[in-house]
Structure 1
Amino acid sequence: MNRSVRGALLCAALSSVASAVWAEDVIELNTIYIGTYELGTELNDVDVTGDDLARTKPTDLQDVFKGEPTVAVGSSIPTSQKIYVNGVEETNLVVTIDGSRQNNKVFHHAATNIIDPALLKAVKVAPGVASADQGPGALGGALAFETKDVADLLEVGDDFGGFTALEFNSNGGTVTTGNAIYGRQGGFEYLGYLKYAGGNEFKDGSDNEVVGSGVNLWSGLAKFAFETADAGRFELSYERLIDDNARPFRANMGGVLVGRPVPPTQIYDFDRQNIVLSYQDARGPMWNPEFVLAFSSTDLSTGDPGATSDGHTQSFNGKAENTFELSLGDIVAGVDFYQDSTDLAYTDMGVAYASKEKASNVGAFVQANLEPTDYLTLSAGLRADHQKFTGVDGSVFEDSGVSSNISGEIMLGNNLTVSAGYSSVWGGAALAESFLLNPAWTYAGGVEAVTSENHYLAAEYETNGFTFKGKKFRTAIDNARAPSWSGGSALTSDLVSDGYELGVGYDWGVGFVNVAYADVTTELNGAPADSYTGN
């Protein structure tokens, strides 16, 4: 039986059982996460579902991905937690929150995408090979966060709900409180959530205080939606996270051992916002449109009143696409755009300056997800992009490129599944991080477009409750922009990430256990890359 059919039957079976139990009013069911298999390459994608999040109850991004060996998250302090997929930092991936493109590369010593796990409904990672409709510049793949809706919080038949939660962690004396209210009436839905966490530095296993690990965090989410069978679904969401506290002078380092004397900590004031307006209509089969218009921004201020660095990035972006349902699968086609910018305002001992880079892009894409037989799925896509880049000195560069991807999965008998994929990506000119922007930069040599090639080969064998997995992958990024404040604006590097993943699991029906291992080697310009040069 093919995977799509199995998923649909599972949905039908669970829905039937739930309806029968509800009708007899015998027992109240807990929340059930119901999903179907998607066409594509399941052996490569990483899906953190609602079930996974409910089971692990993550408090930070390390907890979200702790079961995925090829997704690594560094640091014990959220302010400096970065995500690496197959050894490639998230700044080389297409990152979205509720479909909104994120442009968060502010400071290489700080995190880029801090998000409250309590808000998450699901997280989807496409390591290396990403589909054309996931957005432009998917050099090392794609990472998509999806926040909760009212339907994820209310039981069937309920129209109003809410909760309040209070937590205390004795290590650091951290108090966390979260409050939410949500409901629906007719076709209208509303959701409001606010969380605050505050506390002191925590201690490590040797009873030493971890410098700069104090907590002062605000997180919130507001959603309003209207949906009817005839009109489709309109949704407006606003999500914001503020983290403001003393951190290590370089947030991802224990201390600065060379160079000028520096204090052990400085204030890191981090503020990220995300606004999304979307419309979906899934009446099919040939008219299933989706429209997204979004704005995201990240602000990071460090230092003290006499010496501050204020970095700001933002993205105004959107897309319009339609899914055409066919007998063999579906085809997604559409257009998208972004207008990204990054800027820095710097003040120190009477010296002050401001610098800015910006880029705009318009793209068109088509992605086919097909299932020719019960045992074979294929996915192939193509996108074309045109970009305009503006440097700090006003220099303007325009360039165009094409990206492609193809992947497939075949079931050999009833136990063995084999999958493979390849992508070639044109990413245009990458913006520098805010904290490196130098008003003295010139772009006489131009700014090269960054490109990449990704491929993987994976296999999975299932027997008697056991699952054995293996995957080999490689990502090669050419002309990755690697500017330094004093070294110039047009520096580039070539990155190669090569590795494999092995895993074994056993499922006995009411429980399971999984063990997985990943080995990743990264090289920068032919030499081993460490955590600093690999930024």
Structure 2
Amino acid sequence: MTSTALGATLAALPAAAQQTAPADAPATFSLPAQPLRSALDAFSRQTGWQIGYPGTLTDGRTSRPVSGSMPPAKALEALLAGTGVTYRLTGPATATLAPAPVASSGDTMALGPVSVSAAAPAPGGPAQIVIGKEELERKNPSDIRDVFAGEPGVRVGSSVPMSQKVYVNGVEETNLSVSIDGSRQNNKVFHHNGTTLIDPVFLKTARVDAGVAPADAGPGALAGSIAYETKDARDFLSGDGIGAFVKSSFGTNGSVFTNSVAGYGRHKGLEGLGYFTYGKGARFESGDGNKVEGTKTDLKSGLGKVAYETDAGHRFQVSYERVYDDAPRPFRANVGFISGRPSWEPRVRDYTLDRQNIVFTYTDSLPTDLWNPKLVLAYGRTDVETPIYTRPVGSSTVPGSYPGKGATSSLNGKLENVFNVGMGTVTAGSDFYVDRAHYEDQTMTALERARNIGVYGQARLSPVERVRLSFGMRADRQWFEGTTGEDWTNGGVSHNVSGEFDILPEHLTAKAGWSRSWGGVQLAENFIMNPVWRYGAGPQPVTARNLTAGLVGRYQGFTAEGRVFRTDLDDVRAARFAAGSGTLTRDVRSKGYELGVGYAWDTGFVRAKYADIDVTIDGLPADSDSGTYIATPMGRVYTIGGAHTIPKWELTFGADVEIVLDYNKVQAGQRPLKGYETVNLFVEHKIPQYSNLTLRADVRNLFDETYADRATYGQEFGTVTPLYQPGRTFLLTASATF
């Protein structure tokens, strides 16, 4: 029985983006003796190394303590000393563990000192953000907006999870490659709904490549990629056994109760995890004390995973994840209210959003230099149902209604292998998707489909000391079918190159990246599809160009960094319902810069970040209406955060501040966007002697600010009341493991 421990999860760092140090650069370690699995996880989180090993190998073993400054390879050697486990390097910053050899005579074999060296790892991405387990636990997120809190270049519009959309450098997420556990997401159902509704309690890691993305990030990585990874049984158990996890929270604003329960087990290669969350609550109040219509909580979500690993290292896993939201929402679920609408139009209407994802994955947890495969087969689907209202007939004041149903789906997969070529790795593979967008009501049915096959290669190399390169290419062939049954075939090639150079090793690194991406023809959102669209010569494939460059400085716990960037998207599909509007496109430009400073110490950190981003659509300042499924205004954003732990008391406390400045770069006749400031606090106490009980209290929006997130729809229009964020909220949370 075997398993893989992937230690790429990064702890919260004080820099504006997580930065991986060279693999042989000395680091300060303070790892106590502990179960070997836990020690390896901690080592991987600190160094970014990936460690593969048979799952039973760590059972019943305790690591040696590691303390002091040393290269990671030396720290790994010290950690494993006397455990009966040895290792071999399989690539830059990667290693495989195995039982230490025993002399055939039965005598103890004395092993001499092991001298190892490793090339520096390839860059993780010139503008990569990794939000790992520790940072997620610190944030205690209630929705996807909380997950990306503290990242000024990532905005999440709306205050209701089912209508939230993620924007990276101002570009909406359907123009990025988005995946959950490797499954491509195709969720463009209704512009008033969210794009990828996900329960953050299931998340192990969220990774964003802003702008430049590698070829193996998947098709459609026009302005970058977002990859979500969910938890499995190995995140709760280091060896064979069973366990449970419970978490309950109560939010005072709306009296929202959220309860999660998980059960998991591991036995001789077989693993299982079941996770369920239920949230229920009333409308919340905004900072001005008014109830916000359509903001009740009624959420159910579940995650199930089953895996089996053979003694030879073959790992097979099936996961099923589902999120279901069913509650009255604002008539336009991402808008508070629009004045001047017909009197018969209700303020709220019922929405049902149901997203589900099933993924089969095969990997080898004991790879060789030439054999490190990954196979993914997945199916994802999102359904939205809401009533469509019609004008009252005659003297009646009661509108008519009928159900409107939209559904998107994606059958997708990939087969790839990672080759270790000495100075780094080369990933080569092929992927496919069959995407479908369907709308149906009593008046019409409309359907668009797209099929795509791609081949790709991505090299991540360290050809000489102090230099790390990543470059790749992919070729795609797409077959698109419109609502009229007409079809078109298109193809294109995407390129990317990025690199890092240590100007002053351990202290100053320059990094840069460039990409050109081809995304094919984008499917239209379901609720605006028209069965009689006039496609003419056919929709245009969308393309993009990305450029970024920056510096990162590090010195004795201090970090400072900055980068500039620019993204251009050409022919982004912007279809409307009118018969002649099915092939409308827009051109988008996002440009700006980010700065970050921070300081980290053994038990805490403080960091500050700033982003200044301008977004235009067809040469004019972006607005949230013309930017539907495309882009949003951004402007200037400051974030400040920090946390400190008192180990003796098992007590952690922290705070974060977000300051969004007024934004006046709007089109003629539109309102400037108002700025806002919010402050959040938390304190957490762990009580390990009581089933690893953790108690936590958060104060969110401490000063009761009345505001809507910058990416929330409609703030530039005088007739729109935006969907405000909750006012001051006290959130009490208790969790325990058994």
Checking the alignment, whether the CA contact within 8 Å between 2:152 and 2:611 is kept in structure 1 is yes
Greater RCO (CA < 8 Å, at least 6 residues apart): 2
Between the aligned partners of 1:464 and 1:230, the Cα distance in structure 2 is 43
Between the aligned partners of 2:516 and 2:41, the Cα distance in structure 1 is 41
Checking the alignment, whether the CA contact within 8 Å between 2:363 and 2:372 is kept in structure 1 is yes
Give the corresponding residue for 2:171: 88
The alpha-carbon distance between structure 1 residues 172 and 3, as it changes in their structure 2 partners (threshold 3 A), is same
* Cα displacement string for residues 439-490 of structure 1 (whole angstroms, at most 9, x for unaligned residues): 1212123111110100101111122422111111111000111000115211
2:536 counterpart of 1:444: yes
Checking the alignment, whether the CA contact within 8 Å between 1:41 and 1:419 is kept in structure 2 is no
* Cα displacement string for residues 323-343 of structure 1 (whole angstroms, at most 9, x for unaligned residues): 001211000001000000101
Aligned-partner SS, 2:438: strand
Between the aligned partners of 2:39 and 2:373, the Cα distance in structure 1 is 34
Amino acid aligned to 2:271: E
Checking the alignment, whether the CA contact within 8 Å between 2:240 and 2:268 is kept in structure 1 is no
Checking the alignment, whether the CA contact within 8 Å between 2:471 and 2:497 is kept in structure 1 is yes
* Cα displacement string for residues 35-81 of structure 1 (whole angstroms, at most 9, x for unaligned residues): 31552245510100111111111111111011211111111111111
Aligned-partner SS, 1:34: helix
Give the corresponding residue for 2:395: none
Give the corresponding residue for 1:534: 627
Aligned-partner SS, 2:138: helix
* Cα displacement string for residues 221-249 of structure 1 (whole angstroms, at most 9, x for unaligned residues): 00000113414210000000000111111
The alpha-carbon distance between structure 1 residues 10 and 416, as it changes in their structure 2 partners (threshold 3 A), is closer
Matches within 5 A, 1:248-259: 248-259=330-341
Give the corresponding residue for 2:683: none
The alpha-carbon distance between structure 1 residues 58 and 33, as it changes in their structure 2 partners (threshold 3 A), is farther
Between the aligned partners of 2:592 and 2:566, the Cα distance in structure 1 is 6
Give the corresponding residue for 1:45: 128
Give the corresponding residue for 2:599: 506
2:397 counterpart of 1:303: no
Give the corresponding residue for 2:246: 164
Amino acid aligned to 1:454: N
2:237 counterpart of 1:237: no
* Cα displacement string for residues 304-335 of structure 1 (whole angstroms, at most 9, x for unaligned residues): 69322211000000000000012110000010
2:365 counterpart of 1:365: no
Between the aligned partners of 1:170 and 1:137, the Cα distance in structure 2 is 41
Structure label with greater radius of gyration:
2
Give the corresponding residue for 1:379: 470
* Cα displacement string for residues 178-214 of structure 1 (whole angstroms, at most 9, x for unaligned residues): 1110000000000001111011101112211111110
* Cα displacement string for residues 401-429 of structure 1 (whole angstroms, at most 9, x for unaligned residues): 10000000111113211110000011111
Picking from 21, 25, 48, the partner of 1:3 is 21
2:590 counterpart of 1:497: yes
Amino acid aligned to 1:324: F
Give the corresponding residue for 1:458: 550
Give the corresponding residue for 1:211: 293
Between the aligned partners of 2:608 and 2:449, the Cα distance in structure 1 is 44
Between the aligned partners of 1:331 and 1:488, the Cα distance in structure 2 is 43
Checking the alignment, whether the CA contact within 8 Å between 1:33 and 1:50 is kept in structure 2 is no
76-85 vs 389-398, which moves further: 76-85
- Give RMSD over aligned pairs: 2.0
Checking the alignment, whether the CA contact within 8 Å between 1:73 and 1:84 is kept in structure 2 is yes
Give the corresponding residue for 2:655: none
Picking from 480, 483, 490, the partner of 1:399 is 490
Checking the alignment, whether the CA contact within 8 Å between 1:249 and 1:256 is kept in structure 2 is no
Picking from 400, 404, 410, the partner of 1:315 is 410
Checking the alignment, whether the CA contact within 8 Å between 2:181 and 2:359 is kept in structure 1 is yes
2:444 counterpart of 1:345: no
Q: TM-score normalised to the size of structure 1?
A: 0.94
The alpha-carbon distance between structure 1 residues 449 and 157, as it changes in their structure 2 partners (threshold 3 A), is closer
Structure 1 residue 257 displacement after superposition? 2.2
Between the aligned partners of 1:421 and 1:519, the Cα distance in structure 2 is 19
Aligned-partner SS, 1:136: coil
Give the corresponding residue for 2:428: 333
2:302 counterpart of 1:220: yes
Aligned-partner SS, 1:79: helix
Between the aligned partners of 2:296 and 2:40, the Cα distance in structure 1 is 36
Amino acid aligned to 1:293: L
Between the aligned partners of 1:49 and 1:30, the Cα distance in structure 2 is 16
Between the aligned partners of 1:219 and 1:65, the Cα distance in structure 2 is 20
* Cα displacement string for residues 64-102 of structure 1 (whole angstroms, at most 9, x for unaligned residues): 011211111111111111100011000100000000000
* Aligned-residue identity in percent: 45
Give the corresponding residue for 1:480: 572
Give the corresponding residue for 2:195: 112
Picking from 609, 612, 628, the partner of 1:516 is 609
2:205 counterpart of 1:125: no
Between the aligned partners of 1:411 and 1:163, the Cα distance in structure 2 is 43
Amino acid aligned to 1:316: L
Between the aligned partners of 1:30 and 1:5, the Cα distance in structure 2 is 16
Picking from 469, 479, 493, the partner of 1:388 is 479
Checking the alignment, whether the CA contact within 8 Å between 1:248 and 1:255 is kept in structure 2 is yes
The alpha-carbon distance between structure 1 residues 383 and 31, as it changes in their structure 2 partners (threshold 3 A), is closer
The alpha-carbon distance between structure 1 residues 302 and 6, as it changes in their structure 2 partners (threshold 3 A), is farther
Checking the alignment, whether the CA contact within 8 Å between 1:43 and 1:460 is kept in structure 2 is no
Between the aligned partners of 1:61 and 1:163, the Cα distance in structure 2 is 22
Between the aligned partners of 1:245 and 1:430, the Cα distance in structure 2 is 30
Give the corresponding residue for 1:70: 153
2:516 counterpart of 1:424: yes
Amino acid aligned to 2:406: G
Checking the alignment, whether the CA contact within 8 Å between 2:126 and 2:212 is kept in structure 1 is no
Structure 1 residue 493 displacement after superposition? 0.6
Between the aligned partners of 2:239 and 2:372, the Cα distance in structure 1 is 27
In structure 2, list runs of 5 or more residues that go unmatched.
1-19, 50-120, 389-399, 629-738
Between the aligned partners of 1:91 and 1:438, the Cα distance in structure 2 is 20
Checking the alignment, whether the CA contact within 8 Å between 1:344 and 1:435 is kept in structure 2 is yes
Amino acid aligned to 1:317: N
Checking the alignment, whether the CA contact within 8 Å between 1:384 and 1:401 is kept in structure 2 is yes
Checking the alignment, whether the CA contact within 8 Å between 1:168 and 1:176 is kept in structure 2 is yes
* Cα displacement string for residues 136-166 of structure 1 (whole angstroms, at most 9, x for unaligned residues): 1111111000000111112x34511002222
Aligned-partner SS, 1:55: helix
Give the corresponding residue for 1:293: 377
Between the aligned partners of 1:188 and 1:523, the Cα distance in structure 2 is 52
Give the corresponding residue for 2:44: 34
Give the corresponding residue for 2:95: none
Picking from 521, 524, 527, the partner of 1:435 is 527
